[in-house]
Amino acid sequence: MIVGIVLVVLSVAVGVAAVAFNGAGSTHEITAFGQHVVNANETQVFVGGIVIGLVFCVGVWMVSVAGRRRRALRAEFRAARREAADAGRERDRLAEQLSTQQEITQREQETTVIGRHHDREVTS
């Protein structure tokens, strides 16, 4: 995303500089940082404008792809959090069910039959 933003900013800056320092005549002197780089004719300036436009489009595309990817990751993260919360609730429900079952089993084990007295069971 940062590279895309840098490409957009640089292409806009180069485009603005090209328009602001547009010279008259058939050849245009291109300077960068106060240094003369090259003399360009109108065709070369036109092709340079196309290249700058393409760099701008690539930068915008990179920013939009990064934004979509970020939204998708956030959605996955929210879904994972929801799933973890559901799993936690299910775990708590099962733990409560298990403890209830263990209490029932323990009570059943405590009420063992010791013997019989006149057709009646005696429990401890």
Q: Are 19 and 25 in contact (CB under 8 A)?
A: no
Q: Is 35 helix (H, G, I), strand (E, B) or coil?
A: strand
Residues whose CB is less than 8 angstroms from the CB of residue 40 and which lie 6 or more positions away in sequence, other chains included = 27, 28, 30, 48
Q: pTM higher than 0.85 for the full model? A: no
**What residue type is assigned to position 50 of the chain?**
I
Per-residue pLDDT of the chain (124 residues; tens, 9 = 90+): 888 899 999 888 888 877 776 665 666 677 666 766 677 777 887 888 899 999 999 999 999 999 999 999 999 999 999 999 999 999 999 999 999 998 888 888 777 555 555 556 555 5
DSSP 111: S
Q: What is the pLDDT of residue 106?
A: 84
Please state, in angstroms and rounded to a whole number, the distance separating the CA atoms of residues 52 and 46: 10
DSSP 26: S
